[in-house]
């Protein structure tokens, strides 16, 4: 909203400093500062309010060191994260941008699903919370919204560039290529509407999900939406569940999400900048640059939340925060066409998810085969295995963060190492 106000003041009154709001970097910096401020100021007030309302989750007796000291710690702290994300985005981003609208809907959507889960646990005294099928339904619903918007909205597209000497006049007319000067060089540009994504570590290797259906014949593109919808639903469900499972010890999910969000902000900046995207030979996605403001707010919200969530935690984010963070990261990755990098960038979430799946599957298999269930890990998710092995949770979190930073660096260098 402030973007439009200061743009008006700059155009009509030449208001000093109003032109700063034209710069993505300035608005992103302001979003980070405001989200941190909201987290620190609003966070303390909310924690006191949650204490008065006795909004605390039941701590299960898992035999882990220090778990009983966590009794009485308020949950639903994800409300701090949601406020610190949404308010700066509304103030500093261009809110008519399709990507901003979609990511805010994603934030609110899974935030509400998580809030409902926490509400049932806390106020209805049902430790199971929202039934699993309704959580999945919420995730599938968001997947449908994201896929449908990205597939059908006319403003969601990429641009392809051609050197004039590399194409024939017939090709220019057939593809309706338009001339455009980029960094002092004349290029021919074409709008491209497709469900295309980026294959990491390969130069100029873009993959269209429609190609997965070529085996059905020449009409395969007629079913493109269906395969794209299924892929988006799978990614959103997997990542949001991964973030939810990772939120098991103080600071782990928030710190990991901050690292991931920083990388996604870099991708949004270079993919939404025509000069950088041409230099790096990556997909140029018009209008995506506004997502840098959202990424800034997201990083600030996660880091600010750590002020109260780092060991020993004064508040837990609950499913209100963890489901929303997972959904945001998944939707953001799909928007920047980097979802195939999720196994690397979100490696912590992936490993945590896999550890639970492996533990449950192996236990059921051995129980059926030997009559007695056996385990791969001392406890799942993986962070609990290390707790059972005698590691302090702050050391586990620090080491997971270090791994997260290494995975983030590997993800970033895919921009050049291809």
Q: Above 80 in pLDDT, residue 218?
A: no
**Average pLDDT, integer, range 31-36:** 97
pLDDT of residue 204: 67
What does the alpha-carbon distance between residue 153 and residue 197 come to, in Å, rounded to a whole number? 17
pLDDT band (50, 70, 90) for residue 290: very high
Q: How far is CA 248 from CA 19, 187, 313, 338, in A?
A: 44, 51, 12, 27
**pLDDT at position 321, please?**
96
Residue 7 forms part of a structural domain = yes
Domain span at residue 81? 2-157+193-413
CA dihedral 54, 57, 60, 66 (to 10 degrees): -70
In a domain, 71, yes or no: yes
Nearest-angstrom CA–CA distance, 183 and 132: 52
Domain assignment present for residue 53? The answer is yes
Cβ-contact 98, 149 below 8 angstroms: yes
In a domain, 300, yes or no: yes
Q: Given this model, what pLDDT does residue 80 score?
A: 96
Residue 171 maps to a domain:
no
3-state secondary structure of 265: helix
**Tokens (6 digits) for 338:** 């980097």
- Cβ atoms within 10 Å, residue 130: 21
Tell me 70's DSSP state. Answer: G
Give the mean model confidence (pLDDT) for residues 92-120: 96
240-250: burial string, b at 16+ Cβ within 10 Å, e else: bbbbbbbbbbb
Question: Is 389 part of a structural domain of the chain?
Answer: yes
Residues linked to residue 159 through DSSP beta bridges, in sequence order: 191, 284
Residue 332 within any structural domain of the chain: yes
Nearest CA-CA partner of 315 in 37, 34, 33, 40: 40
User: pLDDT for 369-384, tens place per residue?
Assistant: 998 999 999 999 999 9
Q: Using alpha carbons only, give the angle 126, 243, 88 rounded to the nearest 5 degrees.
A: 100
Q: What is the pLDDT of residues 119-148, one digit of tens each?
A: 999 888 888 889 989 999 999 999 999 999
Backbone angles phi, psi at 160, to 5 degrees: -110, 140
| 231 φ, ψ (degrees, to nearest 5) | -65, -45
Mean pLDDT along residues 329-351: 97
Q: What's the pLDDT tens digit per position in 303-333?
A: 999 999 999 999 999 999 999 999 999 999 9
The answer to whether 184 and 279 have CB atoms below 8 angstroms apart is no
Gap between the terminal Cα atoms of the chain: 40
Is residue 285 a contact partner of residue 198, using CB atoms and an 8 Å limit? no
d(CA 204, CA 350): 27
Reported confidence tier of residue 7, pLDDT bands at 50, 70, 90: confident
Number of domains in the chain: 1
Section 4-26 average pLDDT: 86
Instruction: Please indicate, yes or no, if residue 186 is contained in any of the structural domains.
Output: no
| pLDDT for the residue numbered 21 | 87
Answer for the pair 183, 275: CB distance below 8 angstroms, yes or no. Answer: yes
Angular region, 180: left φ>0, alpha ψ -120 to 50, beta rest = beta
């Amino acid at each position: 909203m402030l973007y439009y106000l200061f743009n008006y003041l700059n155009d009509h009154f030449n208001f000093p400093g109003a032109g700063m709001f034209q710069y993505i970097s300035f608005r992103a910096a302001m979003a980070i500062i405001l989200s941190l401020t909201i987290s620190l100021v609003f966070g303390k007030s909310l924690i006191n309010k949650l204490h008065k309302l006795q909004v605390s989750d039941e701590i299960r007796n898992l035999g882990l060191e220090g778990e009983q000291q966590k009794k009485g710690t308020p949950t639903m702290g994800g409300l701090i994260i949601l406020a610190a994300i949404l308010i700066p985005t509304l103030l500093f981003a261009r809110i008519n941008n399709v990507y901003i609208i979609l990511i805010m809907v994603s934030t609110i959507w899974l935030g509400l699903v998580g809030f409902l889960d926490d509400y049932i646990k806390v106020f209805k005294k049902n430790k199971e919370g929202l039934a699993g099928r309704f959580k999945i339904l919420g995730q599938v619903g968001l997947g449908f919204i994201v896929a449908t918007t990205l597939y059908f909205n006319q403003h969601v597209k990429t641009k392809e560039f051609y050197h004039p000497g590399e194409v024939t006049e017939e090709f220019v007319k057939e593809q309706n290529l338009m001339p455009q000067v980029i960094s002092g060089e004349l290029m021919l540009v074409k709008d491209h509407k497709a469900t295309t994504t980026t294959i990491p570590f390969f130069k100029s290797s873009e993959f269209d999900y429609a190609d997965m259906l070529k085996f059905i014949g020449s009409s395969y593109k007629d079913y493109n939406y269906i395969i794209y919808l299924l892929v988006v639903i799978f990614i959103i469900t997997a990542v949001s569940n991964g973030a939810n499972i990772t939120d098991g010890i103080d600071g782990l999910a928030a710190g990991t999400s901050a690292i991931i969000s920083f990388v996604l902000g870099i991708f949004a900046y270079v993919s939404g900048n025509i000069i950088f995207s041409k230099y790096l030979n990556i997909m140029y996605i018009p209008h995506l640059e506004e997502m840098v403001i959202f990424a800034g707010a997201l990083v600030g919200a996660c880091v600010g939340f750590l002020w109260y969530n780092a060991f020993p935690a004064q508040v837990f984010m609950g499913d209100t925060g963890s489901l929303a963070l997972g959904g945001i990261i998944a939707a953001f990755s799909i928007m920047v066409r980097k979802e195939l990098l999720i196994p690397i960038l979100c490696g912590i979430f992936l490993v945590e998810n896999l550890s639970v799946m492996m533990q449950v599957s192996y236990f059921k298999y051995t129980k059926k085969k030997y009559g007695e269930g056996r385990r791969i890990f001392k406890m799942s998710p993986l962070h609990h295995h290390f707790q059972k092995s005698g590691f302090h949770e702050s050391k586990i979190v620090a080491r997971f963060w270090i791994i997260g930073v290494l995975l983030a660096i590997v993800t970033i260098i895919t921009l050049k190492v291809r």
